[in-house]
């Protein structure tokens, strides 16, 4: 009887909350019944799952099949990484930049919904965990991709830095990751990369970044973090600049990445499972 009484009170409280503080999920429009700083429903969060299928061992691009491209030392590589070795050792992302995950990132970047950084940080932490076997031992400088000072003034925060802060609370149990947001700076504004050719993207990013504290990166391994890996041009330019300043190795972790290769047929589909991020978000 006590349990039913408590359940009844909870139902009344939920109804009262919905009446006094009406709010809808910012992704699907469903009314929110639970008090939360993040205006996103549990169902939308549960649909943000990790990428499934085989990926390039270097850049993380999704492969059509494990036999689609040749492998070096047993690790599959996409055609681009076989032709042009990137300036970073390895890149990993949590999920595909589409659907709810894309909208959640936009809520943070363009709508200033800062609580989204906590959930995105959990996703970034999972991407970092995928890199752990390659990272080996030792400490790392964690460098967020910087915004230009004009964009930073307009937005009021660097989303990559907020996400990195949230992620490090989960992965930095042994104090091996050290956030260094002032190491890299963006010295000029760049135009949007959408619609540009590969050569135009490289020219657009050339000279955009500089290392402000070269003494801090010299001979150090770097973990470069960003919200989205779109074409790879931005993180590649950042990695290139860091390497020129003396960084030993550069790894890349992002929340999401744009996938150029789509799944072909049901043979490559994975069974639906709830992600650890969704479960953690619901529990918080």
Reported as a single tens digit per residue, the pLDDT across 216-266 is 999 999 999 999 998 888 999 999 999 999 999 999 999 999 987 543 333
Is the Cβ–Cβ distance between 170 and 121 less than 8 Å?
yes
- The verdict on residue 16 lying in a domain is no
pLDDT at 46: 95
- The verdict on residue 218 lying in a domain is yes
Quote the DSSP letter at residue 197.
Answer: -
Q: What tokens appear for 215 in the block?
A: 């003494």
Q: What is the dihedral of CA 50, 55, 61, 63, to 10 degrees?
A: -110
pLDDT at 194: 61
> Cα–Cα distance between 154 and 147 in angstroms, integer?
10
pLDDT at 242: 97
Q: What tokens appear for 162 in the block?
A: 């907020």
Reported as a single tens digit per residue, the pLDDT across 20-57 is 454 899 999 999 877 788 999 999 999 999 998 888 99
Reported as a single tens digit per residue, the pLDDT across 76-117 is 888 888 888 999 999 999 999 999 999 999 999 999 999 999
Q: Which CATH number fits the domain that encloses residue 160?
A: 3.40.50
Query: Burial level of 215, CB count in 10 A (0-12/13-18/19+)?
Result: exposed
Helix boundaries (H) for the chain: 2-20, 42-46, 79-83, 99-111, 116-135, 149-155, 159-171, 198-205, 214-217, 233-244, 276-283
136 C-beta neighbours (distance < 10 Å), count: 9
pLDDT at 164: 98
- The verdict on residue 37 lying in a domain is no
Is the Cβ–Cβ distance between 254 and 124 less than 8 Å?
yes
Q: Is the pLDDT of residue 267 over 60?
A: no
Kind of pairing between the strands at 71-72 and 75-76: antiparallel
- The verdict on residue 112 lying in a domain is yes
195 or 34, higher pLDDT: 34
> Cα–Cα distance between 107 and 48 in angstroms, integer?
15
Q: For residue 130, which of 102, 162, 92, 168 has the smallest C-alpha distance?
A: 92
Find the angle CA(215)-CA(218)-CA(221) to the nearest 5 degrees.
Answer: 130
102 C-beta neighbours (distance < 10 Å), count: 17
pLDDT at 154: 94
23 or 215, higher pLDDT: 215
Count of the separate structural domains present in the chain: 1
Domain that holds residue 138: 54-263+275-283
- The verdict on residue 94 lying in a domain is yes
Reported as a single tens digit per residue, the pLDDT across 133-167 is 999 888 999 999 999 999 999 999 999 999 999 99
- Whole-number CA gyration radius for the chain: 21
Q: Which residues, listed in sequence order, are joined to residue 184 by a DSSP beta bridge?
A: 211
| Axis-axis angle for helices 276-283, 116-135 (nearest 10) | 140
176 or 269, higher pLDDT: 176
pLDDT at 282: 44
Is the Cβ–Cβ distance between 124 and 115 less than 8 Å?
no
- The verdict on residue 104 lying in a domain is yes
pLDDT-based confidence at residue 277 (cuts at 50, 70, 90): low
- The verdict on residue 237 lying in a domain is yes
19 or 106, higher pLDDT: 106
């Amino acid at each position: 009887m006590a349990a039913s009484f408590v359940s009844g009170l909870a139902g009344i409280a939920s109804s009262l909350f919905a009446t006094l503080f009406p709010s809808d999920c910012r992704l699907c429009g469903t009314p929110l019944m639970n008090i939360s700083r993040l205006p996103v429903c549990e169902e939308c969060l549960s649909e943000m799952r990790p990428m499934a299928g085989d990926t390039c061992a270097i850049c993380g691009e999704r492969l059509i099949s494990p036999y689609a491209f040749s492998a070096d030392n047993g690790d599959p590589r996409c055609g681009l990484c076989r032709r042009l070795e990137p300036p970073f050792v390895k890149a990993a992302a949590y999920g595909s930049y589409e659907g709810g995950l894309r909208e959640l990132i936009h809520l943070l970047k363009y709508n200033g919904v800062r609580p989204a950084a906590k959930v995105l940080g959990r996703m970034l932490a999972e991407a970092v965990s995928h890199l752990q076997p390659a990272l080996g031992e030792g400490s790392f400088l964690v460098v967020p991709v910087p915004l230009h000072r004009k964009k930073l003034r307009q937005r009021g925060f660097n989303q990559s830095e907020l996400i990195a802060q949230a992620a490090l609370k989960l992965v930095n149990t042994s104090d091996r990751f050290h956030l260094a947001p002032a190491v890299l700076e963006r010295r000029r504004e760049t135009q949007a990369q959408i619609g540009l050719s590969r050569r135009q993207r490289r020219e657009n990013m050339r000279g955009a970044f500089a290392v402000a504290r070269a003494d801090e990166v010299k001979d150090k391994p770097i973990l470069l973090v960003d919200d989205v890996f779109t074409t790879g041009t931005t993180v590649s330019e950042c990695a290139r600049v860091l390497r020129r300043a003396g960084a030993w190795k550069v790894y890349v972790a992002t929340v999401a990445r744009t996938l150029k290769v789509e799944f072909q047929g049901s043979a490559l589909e994975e069974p639906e499972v709830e992600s650890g991020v969704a479960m953690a978000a619901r529990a918080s």
